[in-house]
Structure 1
């Protein structure tokens, strides 16, 4: 397309990126209209440099008469019967091989009249549209279709109905963004005297200005007497000669579509910056909200139950190693608290109890708060998409949490060196007591055979040595067990805290994967969408 604005390809690329980003996320009609603009742009750019100008107007506005006057022959038959124009008519200025027929095929305009090439109007395709106020629905639909496709729109008004609200509200006011590709013609001015014509034009100019069409030219013509036709032909010749009408129409369409899509972007704050929320932990979710979410998910996943079981299991094992060896067998009477939870295999379900009503309510509240924080600064349509994205089923989330807990290592269970030493010392003390006990039994046997004087009995501070060995070994073992118990408890608590950190890290990973990452992706897509819309609209 010759003379194409260099910004048009960039704007089309940006609009296409916005549509692709919104695809499958935003269920809004503006995306469909933007897609239609892109399709139109692709087709129009492939159909050459011809300038398509359409005459549109109401029944009785003299539109067809004006079309014939510009065409130089009676191509479209005017008449009293309404509606007069049922299908679009076309007059083409140019050579048969100029591509105008392909363009009219795309426009689906079957009735065509070709004029000899004329330097000033070479490349003009002039259409006479059906009446926009026709009683036939198909006529009105055809007008709406072609109004969206042509390069330049000439709206023909008459002195009686130039202020008709149906025209201004349905067609002219919505074209405020297309003021550069619109002409307004007040036809039949020959029916007015000079003062009335000036007053009518002034009133119509005021209406157009208030509707955002201050840049739209307003011409007074009379198709019957030829008044103003030269000016109208000159305006059309200027636009045809510039070879920019199609580009300007596409630019206006892209800007208009981008302006519609911009309704789904955050409003600009003072200084022109857009509100996107705070770039903190968890994407756009504040760190404290992420912590609350992790806590709630951990409670629902049974992390407190696991950490308590780790502490009890570690305490049970440590107490057994540092306690009196004779009683160690009694541990088998009490099952290991961790053993019944079936941890250590992320492929299998654990035996942790299901989350209760309180835990589920807390989890739902935390998820909602995280979602609301992530939605800060987003437009309503993107808030809805983020809400849909964050709606993870309770069963799916519960399974993910259970796998995270079941597959997380709880820390090293290696026996500390001091517990090994304490256990060895307990065996030594038990052996000492056993030696003393056997010695006493031996003395009892010798006394039975009256041989107790044969073997001397060592004494320490007047106390028999065997008795000291028995009592000392037992008391020392008990004292060692009592002294070791606080250290066993300290290690149990430390290991429980380490397990809690590991489990919470795994739970946070689930929160990131199942909730926070999808939310962040929606925000990233929203930012990409709005950046593309801004590029297309500016």
Structure 2
């Protein structure tokens, strides 16, 4: 069914959908009573809009002795409700219908079984006199409610239930109790947002002189203005004499003819429910500045890096690079001594597998895991995006390393991390209403238990690249072996000459380099060249280790920063996005564009 649209602002359908979405977003963040109340309003509005929109349900509500039933009979044109001095007189709501065809389902929903056909041709200007003007009330369903201050709880509950459901509220007061605090504090003031679907009738004015009636009306107007009900029509009526009944019927006639009271009531209900979802401080925008968030993120990355032992790892990268460079490019006769020393990165269980071999191993494991996954009843095809991401991470965990041997964070470092996480939540929650601020802070801590393993995994994964062997190592290694072979050739040559001399064999011609025999030149030159190459390589390795340490430090900080964004800032930003959407839906539910 297509609903009527307001002249300005969003449609009732979109406001109702926005209220439902706001209630869903507030689930677990705002008090359950507030959320369930918003959902109840949305459900009630959804049901009412599907029922007859050709009927307007108006209810006469008031205190004991205010004359509701007498006014009900006067408007209906016949004695439908019992009138007497015994209180309470009205024990259950009853309905008078003007052209009630199609109103049955609506009254069933209201749970009003007692129904009467009103005298549609009665328009009382006085006691039992009238014209045919009452026919214009076609479509009106008028309810006579029990007393809202009845001594019986069931009566008060009946009033509370129907006050929440009817389209138009007509509050009947009398000169003695129009200022009753129970009426103003329990009903009128909380319903200030429903002023467009409310009338106030001062009954029994026949008991007062005209000046007193004017004073009562002025005082009643003042009280209503204080209740936030400025502009609500106030009529002076006497159900006994018929004074003011014609004006009241005329006003009802206008409201019924408009066929808009039901939508105005639903719109007011939706606005009130949205206002209850949003505490007063929620009307402002969050004040968490970008620079402050960036500062908190940097502090978090720094605390995580320190707790993860990044300075120790960076130092080990530089030392490990020099260590491996000596092993790869040192003099072959002495490099084995370096092998006896522990590799700094291996001691931290980082880079235990050379990077090129690691890539090959990853590839083999990937292929093996892919073959296994295809055998699990098409599991890969049924995984959603989040499932595939978790599966990918599990593979990486199995492929690279377990935990490193970086020393555990100290108590001070752990406290610094906790402080940095708390600061992120505090900065992000600045300017948010209390419940949402608490939710944002809790989101920042929600995955704190996973940070240690995630950061350790990031350190191990990122540092694995620090074991990559530069290409020049291989070239220098080949050169060293060539130099060593040259020196070995000189040794063998000299050894052969020594053996021939020992055996008293004739010496062959001995070539020379200047005055130095070639065997000696090969031996001494090879030894000197190997030492020089080793020294130059060590100098290059020292400079390369510093460069690699800087690159690793930068990469580690970026990787740990990504972990911080994923495990701390990610949940916080998600919660902020939820709040932003919540605020947007609240504005839409209130009818703001």
Report deviation, 1:20.
3.4
1:33-52 aligned at under 5 Å gives the runs 33-48=37-52, 49-52=54-57
Residues of 2 paired with 1:475 and 1:176: CA distance? 100
Distance 2:272 2:289 in 1: 31
Contact kept, 8 Å, 1:3 with 1:243, in 2: the verdict is no
Shift of 1:432: 4.5
Q: Which residue of 2 aligns with 1:390?
A: 444
TM-score w.r.t. length of structure 2: 0.80
Return the offset for 1:106.
Answer: 0.6
> 1:132·1:139 contact (CA, 8 Å) conserved in 2?
yes
Q: Say whether the 8 Å CA contact 2:510–2:517 is kept in structure 1.
A: yes
Structure 1 pair 20–230 and aligned structure 2 pair: CA distance change class (3 A): same
Query: Secondary structure in 1 aligned to 2:190?
Result: helix
Aligned to 2:237: 221
Are 1:136 and 2:117 an aligned pair?
no
Match in the other structure for 1:32: 36
CA distance in 1, matches of 2:161, 2:324: 82
- Measured at CA, do residues 103 and 414 of structure 1 come closer, stay the same or move farther in structure 2, by a change above 3 Å? closer
Contact kept, 8 Å, 1:56 with 1:131, in 2: the verdict is yes
Deviation string 1:373-400 (CA, Å, 9 cap, x unpaired) is 2223322222122223222344322233
Q: Which residue of 2 aligns with 1:271?
A: none
Instruction: Report the CA distance between 1:457 and its aligned residue.
Output: 7.5
Task: For residue 438 of structure 1, report the CA deviation from its aligned partner.
Answer: 4.8
Q: 1:519 aligns with which of 572, 575, 583?
A: 572
| In structure 2, C-alpha distance between the alignment counterparts of 1:413 and 1:405, rounded to whole Å | 13
How far is the alpha carbon of 1:488 from its aligned partner? 0.4
8 Å contact 1:159–1:187 — kept in the other structure? yes
Unaligned runs of 5+ in 2: 122-134, 352-357, 359-395
Is 2:93 aligned against 1:88? Answer: yes
Q: Does the 8 Å contact 2:462/2:555 carry over to 1?
A: yes
Tell me, yes or no, if the aligned pair for 1:346 and 1:406 is still in contact at 8 Å. Answer: no
CA distance in 2 between counterparts of 1:206 and 1:231 reads 22
Structure 2 counterpart SS, 1:113: strand
Partner Cα distance (1:515, 1:414) in 2: 32
Moved more, 385-394 or 195-204: 385-394
SS at match of 1:325: coil
Partner of residue 19, structure 2? 15
Residue 59 of structure 2 contacts residue 142 of structure 2 at CA under 8 Å; is this kept in 1? yes
Count residues in correspondence: 526
CA contact (8 A) 1:308 1:496 kept: yes
Query: Please, which moves more after superposition, 63-72 or 17-26?
Result: 17-26
C-alpha root-mean-square deviation of aligned residues, in Å? Answer: 3.0
Cα deviation for residue 496 of structure 1 reads 2.8
Q: How does 1:477-496 map to 2 (within 5 A)?
A: 477-496=530-549
Give the deviation of 1:151 after TM superposition: 0.8
Q: Is 1:61 equivalent to 2:66 in the alignment? A: yes
Partner of 1:59: helix, strand, or coil?
coil
2:457 alignment counterpart: 403
Shift of 1:355: 2.8
C-alpha separation in 1, matches of 2:527 and 2:581: 76
TM superposition shift of 1:317: 1.1
Q: Provide the secondary structure at the position in 1 that maps to 2:149.
A: coil
Confirm or deny that 1:530 pairs with 2:579. no
Determine whether 1:346 maps to 2:397: yes
CA contact (8 A) 2:497 2:507 kept: no
- 2:452 and 2:196 map into 1 onto residues whose CA distance is 59
* Equivalent residues of 2:447, 2:568 under 8 A apart: no
Q: Counterpart of 1:374? A: 428
Give the direction of change, closer, same or farther, for the CA distance of 1:417–1:198 in structure 2 (3 Å limit).
Answer: closer
Q: Displacement, 1:241? A: 1.6
C-alpha distance 416-43 of structure 1, shift in aligned 2 (>3 A): closer
Q: CA deviation at 1:290?
A: 2.1
Q: Identify the range of structure 1 (437-446 vs 243-252) with the bigger mean alpha-carbon deviation.
A: 437-446
Q: Map 1:163-202 to 2 at 5 A.
A: 163-202=179-218
**1:260 aligned to which of 276, 290, 295:** 276
CA–CA distance in 1 between the matches of 2:427 and 2:2? 50
SS of the equivalent of 2:465 reads coil
